[in-house]
Chain A
Amino acid sequence: MRIEVDRDLCASTGGCEAFAPDVFEIADDGELVVLRSEPGEADLPDVRNAVQACPTRALRLVG
């Protein structure tokens, strides 16, 4: 499973970081950084919540 970010939609709300801080981080310049673009099994529930919670629907979990 791989995380895709639509940079046109992402508004750096940090919603994903709230759910999966080990996977997502808003960097100092305000851009979203995906720390693990292919998250492990253990991260998947949090990542799914993060994808669902994204206010701008900028995240997708594919594969």
Chain B
Amino acid sequence: MTLDATDAVDLDAVDLSDRDFWGRPPAERHAVFDALRRERPFAFFAEPEVPYIPAGPGYYAVTRHADVEAISSQPALFCSGQGAVSIPDMPPELNEFYGSMISMDDPRHAKIRRIVAKTFTPRMLERLVDSVQRIAQEVAAGARRKAEAGDGTIDVVADFAAPVPLWVICDMMGIPAEDRQMVLEKSSIILSGGDPDLIADENEILTQFLEAGGMLSDLMNRLAAERVENPRDDLTTALVNSEVDGEKLTHQEIASFFILLCVAGNETTRTAISQGVLALHEHPDQRARWAADPSFTPTAVEEIVRWVSPVTWMRRTATQDTEVNGRPVQAGDKFLLFYGAANRDPEVFADPHVFDLGRTPNPHVGFGAHGPHFCLGAHLARREIGVAFRTLFDELPDLEVCGEPERLRNSFVNGLKRLPARLTGVR
């Protein structure tokens, strides 16, 4: 597998808006991004077609770490409010409903962020450590039972990587166990990017997407009403009761934030765990190193997030004529910040294509680059990923990937649909 495939990449034939590109093997995609970063750091692409949504003018693919940082850290010049998670401009109502504060600018963004900030601080999360640990152990035990009851195999995604973050976020929100499956299915649809495996008919993308949002929103409204009557020690109660400058969050703001949490809190961590398992399988020396020495966990978690870059991009839109590191920009220009590409920028990372669990420093942008939209759940995700892998080493030490991963054909999340594994201790 050669990554330095400069000669092999014909950049004129590359189209990042083509869904098929995102189904290509990672090495091939990294070679394309290496070439883009080196030769066309602001390559322009036409927008992908989304049924019923008018296509916009196109976008620039930002692939250098320094440019991603420059755009991300100047939110007044490069806004999120025109859409951060979709390439075409969505109708404003949809944009806010599905993106919540991801697709807002200050001051509204700051207002909502402050309300939820406290819940996601490291101090608050310390209390969660035990419950994350317990959840990971329960899920691992369930995976072993499944392997024992069947042919000794499991699906790393469905049987481990997906349930851990789902249970954690549902516990935090106080979502009843019987609603977990629905939350998992609907959040997967919202982030499917129209992957045909999840939405069979392309013309159904929008309706399925709306239905998914509606169901999550209904669940949240039901829970919120319950918590107003009977407050509990959960995030939902904090959301319905919190005030900023004497203002409470509206029902719609709460529902939107809930959708954001479901989607962002599930898919991203699931992807880090499933792709992390695959990376450790492909780098057995690194796996052995971490399994033998828990003190690697902090740097190992950061390296997994760099390596996987679960969220492939976020969008920003120029609010006025300006420049990025000397390159002129016009008001209205759209930029996709390709985090995975920035995370392999040789200007910043020595041997960027080497998976090194001891890497330090590691100024990756896997949780977003500098700026007000830096991942709210970063502390939680770090905790979950660390606990998930230590639990795997302890409870499922005999886990061996035994087949090819099935990748999500989606430009937005670097996800896996399935990753077959065998528990070799099961006979």
Give chain B residues whose Cβ lies under 8 Å from the Cβ of A18. Answer: 122, 379
Q: Tell me the bound Cα distance from A33 to B278 in angstroms.
A: 41
| Chain B: interface size category | 20 to 34
> Shortest distance in angstroms between B296's beta carbon and chain A's nearest beta carbon?
18
Interface string of B354-383 (1 = CB under 8 A from A): 000000000000001011101010110000
Q: Tell me the bound Cα distance from A56 to B374 in angstroms.
A: 8
**A26 interface residue per 8 A CB criterion:** yes
Give chain A residues whose Cβ lies under 8 Å from the Cβ of B113. Answer: 11-12, 30
Give chain A residues whose Cβ lies under 8 Å from the Cβ of B120. Answer: 14
Give chain A residues whose Cβ lies under 8 Å from the Cβ of B116. Answer: 30
The interface centre, meaning the residue of A12, A18, A28 with most chain B CB atoms within 10 A of its CB, is: A12
A14 & B370 in contact (Cβ 8 Å cutoff)? no
Q: Tell me the bound Cα distance from A31 to B110 in angstroms.
A: 11
Q: Which residue of B lies closest to A55 (CB)?
A: B374
Number of inter-chain CB pairs below 8 Å? 60
Interface string of A1-33 (1 = CB under 8 A from B): 000000001011111011001000111111100
The interface centre, meaning the residue of A25, A31, A55 with most chain B CB atoms within 10 A of its CB, is: A55
Q: Tell me the bound Cα distance from A56 to B69 in angstroms.
A: 11
Choose one: B73, B117, B371, B374; the contact of A26 (CB below 8 Å).
B117
A56 & B372 in contact (Cβ 8 Å cutoff)? yes
**A57 interface residue per 8 A CB criterion:** yes
| Chain A: interface size category | 10 to 19
> Shortest distance in angstroms between B111's beta carbon and chain A's nearest beta carbon?
9
B370 & A56 in contact (Cβ 8 Å cutoff)? yes
Choose one: A9, A26, A56; the contact of B121 (CB below 8 Å).
A26
- Known A13-B374, A30-B244: A25·B123 in contact at CB below 8 Å: yes
Residues on B lying within 8 angstroms of A by beta carbon are: 73, 110, 113-118, 120-123, 244, 368, 370-372, 374, 376, 378-379
Task: List 7 A-B pairs, minimum CB-CB distance, nearest first.
Answer: A30-B114, A55-B374, A12-B117, A14-B121, A11-B372, A18-B122, A30-B117
Known: A15-B374, A26-B117. 15 other contacts (CB 8 A): A9-B372, A11-B114, A12-B114, A12-B117, A13-B117, A14-B121, A18-B122, A21-B122, A26-B123, A27-B118, A30-B116, A30-B244, A55-B372, A55-B374, A57-B370
